[in-house]
């Protein structure tokens, strides 16, 4: 809306659209209703079954989609489901692209999200025009499903880097190193990674990150566990060995079972650090 586009929206929880309505958006009852009025549609949903329902369900977009519509799904889901949706959309004369997003709530508010886009290359510019309103980076990844693949790959490596940073900082502290100094050394050396230099999990090392705020906000452990489950599924299906990715998945799964589900995923430092007897 800030970029001058009229917005027509729908959500299974209508109350979540209240603020949007007050800003001037039109709120409709169902995805099918939106498809009836708009020919460029962006969806963002929690998991594969929701996407299947919103596109192919009884009140789904494809029930009333207009020929030539551009459908962009920014959910993080199994790439195989993205491919199925693309096939179903094509049968109705529409184009489906997957465009999952990375960056947290802060990036969303300030329009600095990164979109990773999969789908027909000739439609990429149209998608980019829309997505650029919300994200600083819009990257073309290849055929439909590759946006998901890129997102899943990034988050798997992110989880590995975060747990690795947490282990490493914890070990260094136990060996007598000052945490700020250790972070500085890692960041000028080959141990450097996003989790060490931008989102350090140790309280007191950086400001403005969840570790400075008791692991509130940020990217929840449950969401990370979900993305790692997607990575594991795609790895199993393609017979790809991912030993660290797989163990990272298990660690975040254990954290969910031990009370860390809603904390930021950098709380793995806290999960690992307590000493015996405390």
Residue at token pair 């789908």: 119
Distance in angstroms (rounded) separating the CA atoms of residues 232 and 250:
10
| 194 near a copy of itself (CB under 8 A) | yes
Catalytic residue among 151, 180, 184, 239: 151
Give catalytic status of residue 112 as yes or no.
Answer: no
Distance in angstroms (rounded) separating the CA atoms of residues 14 and 271:
37
What is the 8-class DSSP label of residue 274? P
Q: Any residues with CB less than 8 A from the CB of 264 and at least 6 apart, and which? A: 210, 211, 215, 216, 217, 218, 219, 220, 221
Distance in angstroms (rounded) separating the CA atoms of residues 178 and 176:
7
Residue range at the interface with a copy of itself (CB under 8 A); choices 29-37, 63-71, 126-134, 223-231 = 223-231
Residue of 42, 77, 134, 141 that binds a copy of itself (CB under 8 A) = 141
Shortest distance, position 203 Cβ to a copy of itself, whole Å = 17
Residue of 128, 192, 203, 217 that binds a copy of itself (CB under 8 A) = 192
Q: Any bridge partners for residue 41, and if so which?
A: 71
- The count of C-alpha atoms lying within 13 angstroms of the C-alpha of 209, restricted to the half-sphere facing its C-beta, is 19
| 257 near a copy of itself (CB under 8 A) | yes
| 208 near a copy of itself (CB under 8 A) | no
What is the 8-class DSSP label of residue 179? H
Residue of 57, 111, 120, 191 that binds a copy of itself (CB under 8 A) = 191
Per-residue binding letters, 152-181, with a copy of itself (x by CB under 8 A): xxxxxxx-xx-xxx-xxxxxx-xxxxx--x
| 251 near a copy of itself (CB under 8 A) | yes
| 7 near a copy of itself (CB under 8 A) | no
Residue range at the interface with a copy of itself (CB under 8 A); choices 35-43, 125-133, 189-197, 209-217 = 189-197
Which phi and psi (to 5°) does residue 274 adopt?
A: -60, 145
Q: Pick between residue 55 and residue 199 the one whose CB is nearest to a copy of itself.
A: 199
Residue of 28, 231, 264, 269 that binds a copy of itself (CB under 8 A) = 231
| 100 near a copy of itself (CB under 8 A) | no
For the chain, what's the residue count? 278
Name the strand (E) or helix (H) holding 76: none
- Which residue pairs, CB below 8 angstroms and at least 24 apart, start in 212-216? 215/263, 215/264, 215/266, 215/267, 215/270, 216/263, 216/264
| 17 near a copy of itself (CB under 8 A) | no
Residues in contact with a copy of itself, total (CB under 8 A)? 88
Distance in angstroms (rounded) separating the CA atoms of residues 82 and 73:
8
Q: Pick between residue 65 and residue 163 the one whose CB is nearest to a copy of itself.
A: 163
Shortest distance, position 177 Cβ to a copy of itself, whole Å = 5
| 21 near a copy of itself (CB under 8 A) | no
Enumerate the active-site residues. Answer: 151
């Amino acid at each position: 809306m800030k970029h001058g586009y009229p917005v027509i929206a729908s959500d299974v929880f209508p109350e979540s659209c209240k603020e949007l309505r007050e800003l001037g958006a039109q709120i409709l009852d169902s995805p099918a209703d939106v498809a009836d009025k708009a020919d460029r549609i962006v969806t963002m949903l929690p998991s594969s079954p929701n996407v299947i329902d919103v596109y192919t369900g009884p009140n789904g977009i494809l029930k009333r989609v207009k020929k030539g519509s551009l459908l962009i799904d920014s959910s993080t889901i199994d790439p195989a489901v993205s491919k199925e949706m693309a096939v179903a959309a094509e049968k109705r004369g529409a184009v489906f692209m997957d465009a999952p997003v990375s960056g947290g709530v802060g990036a969303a508010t300030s329009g600095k999200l990164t979109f990773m886009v999969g789908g027909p290359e000739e439609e990429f510019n149209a998608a980019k025009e829309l997505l650029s309103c919300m994200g600083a980076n819009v990257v073309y990844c290849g055929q439909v499903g590759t946006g998901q693949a890129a997102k899943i790959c990034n988050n798997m490596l992110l989880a590995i880097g975060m747990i690795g940073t947490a282990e490493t900082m914890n070990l260094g502290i136990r060996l007598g190193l000052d945490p700020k100094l250790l972070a500085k050394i890692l960041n000028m050396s080959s141990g450097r990674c996003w989790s060490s230099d931008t989102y350090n999990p140790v309280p007191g090392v950086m400001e403005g990150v969840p570790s400075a705020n008791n692991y509130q906000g940020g990217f929840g452990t449950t969401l990370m566990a979900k993305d790692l489950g997607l990575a594991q599924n795609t790895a199993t299906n393609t017979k790809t060995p991912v030993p660290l990715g797989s163990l990272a998945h298990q660690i975040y799964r254990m954290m969910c079972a031990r009370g860390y589900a809603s904390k930021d995923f950098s709380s793995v430092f806290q999960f690992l650090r307590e000493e015996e007897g405390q």
